[in-house]
Amino acid sequence: MASEETSMKGALIGCGFFAQNQLHAWRDIDGAEIVALCDRDPERLAATAETFGITRTYTDAAAMFAAEELDFVDIATTVQSHRPLVEMAAGAGCHVICQKPFAETMDDARAMVAAVEAAGRTLMVHENFRWQSAVRKAIETVRSGAIGTPFFGRVAFRSGYDVYSGQPYLAEGERFIIEDLGIHILDISRALFGDVERIAATTKRVNPKIRGEDVATMLLAHEGGVTSVVDCSYATRRTPETFPQSLLEIDGAEGTLRLDAGYSLVVQTGGNETVTDVSPPILPWAERPWHNIQESVRIIQQHFVACIDAGTQPETSGADNLKTLALVQAAYRSAETGETVRLSGI
């Protein structure tokens, strides 16, 4: 941790399941520290404060902003609260990192981006899948030109892991896998292949105990000419279970790249093959199988701090995330209508 003189002071709002990872990661990061917590549930707030040794706690965000002098805020609440909290943070002059999904509507998302921009502060969406070290290595390899110009890609996340036990609200919404998981996989595709011109999607609900869809398959036509297939499932029974790994297959003009189960990165060019183990480390506070996501939390939060320090925009800025969020909205529209949807209409 950096010294008191150089650390940005931040607060975290929302002390739920995933926020615990964010708090662990903030303790690891140079240049920032969490000095206050906010949650509407007093018991959860007290338990989290005790775990992380944070003494300044609030059950009301407005009261916290009035009492604290903060440089940034980490918003780890559910999507319905994002706009009022982001606008409140912007009004308090704070940099903002906000959990995904960023917003329920494009209007809300654009309003949040505008509010933070008007305040002259930085807004980043906690879109962490593209920051997983194995995925990051694949992205960097493609961007380096190692397989030439890509023309096809597949980004897949297929699992039967019980995600509902730790986050029961996931089983209750009318929308599920595209909004909660597919948004990550779509963002990986954007990171690899650029922005999207049009999308076609199908969805299915296999698990009768949930309300939303748990299977989605999406076909993307990217502006640069790449075609990608993005598919995700929480109804896939496979052994060994690959949760929470994203698997990649990419064809380029000069070769192919695969990120296989078990964190094996395979690159084939000119008749040669290289296989690299890109397994993520297990941080002291992390545990299998979540360790790849937990590591990415630390990486993305350090990126946020570095961008503020350098005065640059984060790779997953609010403005950039508008394009990923538009893909989610377009995918649902396509699945409902059976038509291909152009992103220019979202």
Q: Which residues contact 104 (CB under 8 A, 6 or more apart)?
A: 79, 80
Q: DSSP characters for 122-146?
A: -EEEE--GGGSHHHHHHHHHHHTTT
Minimal CA–CA distance to 240: which of 161, 134, 155, 132?
161
Q: Collapsing DSSP states into helix, strand and coil, what is residue 323?
A: helix
CA distances from 339 to 116, 169, 243 (A): 35, 30, 31
Asked if 128 and 297 count as a contact pair (C-beta separation under 8 A), the reply is yes
This prediction has a pTM of 0.94
pLDDT computed for residue 6 by the predictor = 67
* Per-residue model confidence as pLDDT tens digits over 172-189: 989 999 999 999 999 999
Q: Which tokens is 316 given?
A: 């997953």
Angle at which helices 291-310 and 19-28 cross, to 10°: 60
Q: Report the C-alpha gap between 78 and 100 in whole angstroms.
A: 8
Q: Report the C-alpha gap between 44 and 131 in whole angstroms.
A: 28
Q: What is the mean pLDDT of residues 319-343?
A: 97
* Per-residue model confidence as pLDDT tens digits over 301-318: 999 999 999 999 999 999
pLDDT computed for residue 50 by the predictor = 98
Asked if 150 and 304 count as a contact pair (C-beta separation under 8 A), the reply is no
Same fold, 8-121 and 130-281+324-345: no
Q: Which residues contact 120 (CB under 8 A, 6 or more apart)?
A: none
- What are the φ and ψ backbone dihedral angles of 233, each rounded to 5 degrees? -155, 140
End-to-end C-alpha distance for the chain, whole angstroms: 42
CA distances from 87 to 74, 90, 298, 305, 313 (A): 13, 5, 25, 20, 19
Confidence of residue 1 (pLDDT cuts 50, 70, 90): very low
Architecture of domain 8-121: 3-Layer(aba) Sandwich (3.40)
- What are the φ and ψ backbone dihedral angles of 221, each rounded to 5 degrees? -105, 110
* Per-residue model confidence as pLDDT tens digits over 2-49: 334 569 999 999 999 999 999 999 999 999 999 999 999 999 999 999
* Per-residue model confidence as pLDDT tens digits over 94-123: 999 999 999 999 999 999 999 999 999 999
pLDDT computed for residue 4 by the predictor = 47
Q: Which tokens is 332 given?
A: 């649902």
* Neighbouring C-beta atoms of residue 341, cutoff 10 Å: 22
Asked if 26 and 285 count as a contact pair (C-beta separation under 8 A), the reply is no
Q: Please state the domain extents for the chain.
A: 8-121, 130-281+324-345
- Region 130-281+324-345: CATH code: 3.30.360.10
pLDDT computed for residue 169 by the predictor = 85
pLDDT computed for residue 3 by the predictor = 39
Q: What is the mean pLDDT of residues 187-205?
A: 98
Q: In sequence order, what are the beta bridge partners of 97?
A: 74, 124
Q: Which tokens is 130 given?
A: 């593209």
Minimal CA–CA distance to 12: which of 2, 1, 293, 32?
32
Q: Which tokens is 219 given?
A: 């076909």
Q: Report the C-alpha gap between 117 and 113 in whole angstroms.
A: 6
Q: Is 151 exposed, middle or buried (0-12, 13-18, 19+ CB in 10 A)?
A: middle
Q: Report the C-alpha gap between 212 and 160 in whole angstroms.
A: 15
Angle at which helices 133-143 and 291-310 cross, to 10°: 60
